[in-house]
Amino acid sequence: MTVWRKLLRHRLGAVGLAMLAVAVLVAIFAAVIAPYDPYENVRVSIDDIYQSPSPQHLLGTDDAGKDVFSGLVYGARVSLLVGFAGAFISLIVGGVIGLVAGFKGGRLGNGLMRFTDFFLVIPELALQIVIVAIIGQSLRNIILVIGLLGWTTSARLVRAQTLSVRARKFVERARAVGASDLYILRRHIFPQVVPLMLANAVLTISLAILAESTLAFIGLGDPTVISWGQMLNFAFTRGAVSAGAWWALVAPGLAIVWVVLGVTLLGNALEDLLNPRRGRHFLEPEPAMPAEETVGPAAERGAPAVLAVQDLAVEFVVAGARMRAVDGTTFSVRKGEALGLVGESGSGKTTAMLAALRLLPPGGEVVGGSVLLGGQNVFALTADELRDVRWTRMAMVFQGAMNALNPVRTVEDQIVEAISLHDPDLSKSAAQERAAHLLEVMGIDADRGSEYPHQFSGGMRQRAMIALALACDPDVIVADEPTTALDVMIQAQILELLKKLQRELGMALVLITHDLGVVAESCDRVVVMYGGIVAEQGTVEEVYSDPQHPYTKLLMEAFPDMEDPDRPLVSIPGLPPRLDRLPPGCRFAPRCPAAFDRCQVERPPSYVLSPGREASCFLLESRQVVGV
């Protein structure tokens, strides 16, 4: 099985597994390994007591003159038995209660959870002590008590997991198909919950082992069996400290640590594997930037560009493999211009803009090209210079405004923070005034600035995010899918606002979107990206009335036009290229109806068709204009 293999490759997990395996083997073959039988009654003389380690007694002797090493070996049996059996009981009880509570919800579910809460309040060890003291100190009783009192953690975990699986769409679909509760539990919920229960089971075992040793140490162990806790209890209460017999204390203690640590490492590894954490970490140190390159004259044409991206190349390192997400992309935006960056998922449009602000997620790395922001190469800036440039020259409206705002700080506070950061001389009240003004501009009542993001509707959150982007009066605003996931009317409101702001403030706007209609409505120029390269760019009029690249043409034909509902919509056959398997020639060749041999092996350069109008397709080679 693959989990098995992954576990062995997980270093700490493999170590844990090995530690546990050693303990289990020792327990099974105790009779073979132990030099003496600790259950055997032998006469001892006073000299046998607390003998220091010697070849006869590897770990010395205890208060009764018995071999500590043999005690350890036989003690493994008791500790592991209590651990496994106790955990088993906890898991069954907790699992059933958690599953029912999570799946049924409502009164029954709530009631069960309240019941669990009561148990969480009762100090477990104190209760265990009292119950064992009263019902008697037999091994069976100890297992029962540990098992029956340890179920609460499993119950909570299983319930949380069940709740989240139950809310998933495929469960809803099964319900819509007409499946019964039992069927859904068996077929959809149980298989998803079991793996996590496994990781939990491992941790429960370690808790049970600890509980047994603690009870035994306090003197509530089964007096007829030898366990590590029991050995510590005898040593501690019968003079090992004053006799200086460290071996009688340290050996059983380390044995417990050995097993618990092994089990814990194993459990941690299982959890890592079954429930992998999001690998993102936005505060990781940035990889080195490419050496500064000379800026070609091609960047400057007409009005000076506020943002010029030149031959930008970005790679992602995933599991050791390098994948090129953006490959030699060149485009620019001028002051007062709205640029649409269009492409399907994976086309590199967002990555290119994140790279331009040096905000690539971990694993992302700029490997070539330059980004000029107001004439300054962003990649050549020091960390301090970069912080000064951010938000004052270029601000970004991130996709998904819900997550892009800090949930525990008020909206106004987050805007004020940006203003004060870049204008430290401004008084607090002046900054607040400006924040309130920006919110009003965005159509949000200034009073509501003191509210938290979750109190806003989706549309309002997006407005607040734009107000935040305006905080430092940037030269360029990048808006990443600003209207996705919003209702149509709200989409229209946001787009109108963006257009109005851009017109009135004269800033440059880069609109990242997959929606050709949005670009047609609100942009001056458009850059069409495909598989990390610019397929075509030009003014919106040019590109929409006379698309040159086969991809652009097909994309236009795939996009529905409400005013022309009779035009049949096409689908582009095949799938967008996978970054780890980029075609050697033209990125679009595998799906291109016009592709010929050369397209499969050679990458077409970007041909300049007229000033500002470029397309990357061999079919246009003869039409390029040289020396503009």
Partner 1 sequence: MRGRLVLRKLGWALVTLVVVATFNFMLFRVLPGDPAKAGLRDPRLNQEAVEAARIRFGLDKPVFVNLEGGSPFDSQFFRYIGSLAEGDLGTSYAFNNRAVSDLLGRALVNTIWLVLPAQILAIVLGVVMGLVAAWKRGTAIDVGSLLFALFMWALPTFFLAILLLFFGGRWLGLPTGGRVTLGATYESGWEQAVDILRHLLLPTIGFALVLIGEYLLVMRSSVMEVFGEDYIQTAKAKGLSTIQIIRKHAFRNAMLPIVTLIALNLGFTVSGAIQVETVFSWPGLGKLTVDAVSQRDYPVLQGTFLLLAVAVIVANLIAELVYLRLDPRVTEV
Partner 2 sequence: MSEGAAVVRPVTEPVVILDDVAVSFARGRRLVDVFRRRPGSVVQAVDGVSLELRPGEVLAIVGESGCGKTTTANLIMGLLRPSRGRVIVDGQDLAGLAESDRRRRRRRMQMVFQDPYESLNPRMTVGEIVAEPLQVHRATATRGESETLVLQALERAGLRPAERFLAVRPVELSGGQRQRVVIASALVLEPQVIIADEPVSMLDVSIRADILNLLASLATKQDIAIVMITHDMSTVAAFSDRVAVMYLGRVVETGPSRQVLTSPRHPYTQALVSVVPVPHPSRRRPPLVLVGETPDPSRIPPGCRFHPRCPVAFARCPQVDPPLFDVGGGQKAACLLVGG
Calculate the alpha carbon distances from 31 to 37, 70, 256 in Å. Answer: 8, 9, 20
Region binding partner 1 by CB under 8 A among candidate stretches 31-39, 192-200, 247-255, 506-514: 247-255
Residue 122 CB, shortest distance to partner 1, in Å, is 6
Residues 449-478 within binding reach of partner 1 (CB under 8 A): 452, 454, 468
Q: How far apart are CA 177 and CA 623, in angstroms?
A: 57
DSSP state of 375: T
Region binding partner 2 by CB under 8 A among candidate stretches 85-93, 395-403, 430-438, 515-523: 515-523
Q: How far apart are CA 266 and CA 254, in angstroms?
A: 18
Q: What are phi and psi of 606, to 5 degrees?
A: -85, 115
Residues 175-214 within binding reach of partner 1 (CB under 8 A): 206, 210, 213-214
Exactly one of 203, 210, 498, 516 binds partner 2 (CB under 8 A); which one?
516
Q: How far apart are CA 221 and CA 90, in angstroms?
A: 20
Exactly one of 73, 155, 249, 372 binds partner 1 (CB under 8 A); which one?
249
Residues 92-151 within binding reach of partner 1 (CB under 8 A): 117-118, 120-127, 129-131, 133-135
Residues 549-608 within binding reach of partner 1 (CB under 8 A): none
| 220 Cβ contact partners less than 8 Å away, ≥ 6 residues apart | 129, 132, 133, 137, 142
| 462 Cβ contact partners less than 8 Å away, ≥ 6 residues apart | 397, 401, 482, 483, 486, 490, 494
Nearest CA to 506 out of 255, 290, 337, 266 is that of 337
* Residue 220 interacting entry, from partner 1, partner 2, none, C-beta within 5 to 8 Å by type: partner 1
Residues 404-443 within binding reach of partner 1 (CB under 8 A): 404-409, 417-418, 421-422
* Residue 515 interacting entry, from partner 2, partner 1, none, C-beta within 5 to 8 Å by type: partner 2
Site size toward partner 1, by CB under 8 A: 76
Exactly one of 88, 246, 544, 559 binds partner 1 (CB under 8 A); which one?
246
How many helices and strands in the chain, by DSSP H and E?
25, 12
Helix (H) / strand (E) element for 107: namely helix 106-121
Q: What is the DSSP string of 16-49?
A: HHHHHHHHHHHHHTHHHH-SS-TTS-----GGGT
| 523 Cβ contact partners less than 8 Å away, ≥ 6 residues apart | 338, 339, 340, 509, 511, 540
Contact 326, 348 (CB under 8 A): yes
Residues 468-487 within binding reach of partner 2 (CB under 8 A): 487
Exactly one of 572, 582, 594, 619 binds partner 2 (CB under 8 A); which one?
572
Residue 565 CB, shortest distance to partner 2, in Å, is 4
Exactly one of 335, 514, 553, 603 binds partner 2 (CB under 8 A); which one?
514
How far is Cα of residue 568 from the mean position of the Cα atoms in its chain?
41
Under the binding rule (CB under 8 A), the answer on residue 218 touching partner 1 is yes
Q: What are phi and psi of 219, to 5 degrees?
A: 100, 15
Residue 174 CB, shortest distance to partner 2, in Å, is 7
Query: Which long-range contacts link 433-438 to residues 24+ away (Cβ below 8 Å)?
Result: 434/471, 435/467, 435/471, 436/412, 438/467, 438/468, 438/470, 438/471
Indicate the burial class of 394 (C-beta count within 10 angstroms; 0-12, 13-18, 19 or more): buried
- Pick 235 or 411: Cβ nearer partner 2: 411
Under the binding rule (CB under 8 A), the answer on residue 39 touching partner 2 is no
Residues 255-284 within binding reach of partner 1 (CB under 8 A): 256-257, 260-261, 264-265, 268, 277-284
Two structure tokens written together for 197: 């229960």
Nearest CA to 435 out of 470, 461, 409 is that of 470
Under the binding rule (CB under 8 A), the answer on residue 10 touching partner 1 is no
* Residue 492 interacting entry, from partner 2, partner 1, none, C-beta within 5 to 8 Å by type: partner 2
Region binding partner 2 by CB under 8 A among candidate stretches 214-222, 223-231, 324-332, 488-496: 488-496
Under the binding rule (CB under 8 A), the answer on residue 396 touching partner 1 is yes
Residue 483 CB, shortest distance to partner 2, in Å, is 10
Under the binding rule (CB under 8 A), the answer on residue 140 touching partner 2 is no
| 134 Cβ contact partners less than 8 Å away, ≥ 6 residues apart | none
Q: How far apart are CA 543 and CA 400, in angstroms?
A: 29
| Ramachandran category for residue 328: left, alpha or beta (phi over 0 → left; psi -120 to 50 → alpha) | left
* Residue 388 interacting entry, from partner 1, partner 2, none, C-beta within 5 to 8 Å by type: partner 1
Residue 544 CB, shortest distance to partner 2, in Å, is 5
- Pick 15 or 179: Cβ nearer partner 2: 179
- Pick 14 or 441: Cβ nearer partner 2: 441
Q: How far apart are CA 239 and CA 243, in angstroms?
A: 6
Site size toward partner 2, by CB under 8 A: 58
Nearest CA to 351 out of 390, 377, 312, 322 is that of 312
Helix (H) / strand (E) element for 232: namely helix 228-237
Binding mask 527-566 for partner 2 (x = CB under 8 A): -------------xx--xx--------xxx-xxxxxx-x-
Helix, strand, coil abundance in the chain, percent, nearest 5: 55, 15, 30
Binding mask 157-186 for partner 2 (x = CB under 8 A): -----------xxx-xxxxxxxxx--x---
* Residue 534 interacting entry, from partner 2, partner 1, none, C-beta within 5 to 8 Å by type: none
Residue 415 CB, shortest distance to partner 1, in Å, is 10
Contact 213, 41 (CB under 8 A): no
- Pick 251 or 554: Cβ nearer partner 2: 554
* Residue 439 interacting entry, from partner 2, partner 1, none, C-beta within 5 to 8 Å by type: none
Binding site for partner 2 (CB under 8 A): 168-170, 172-180, 183, 187-188, 191-192, 344-345, 457, 459, 487-493, 495-496, 514-518, 520-521, 540-541, 544-545, 554-556, 558-563, 565, 567, 569-572, 575-576
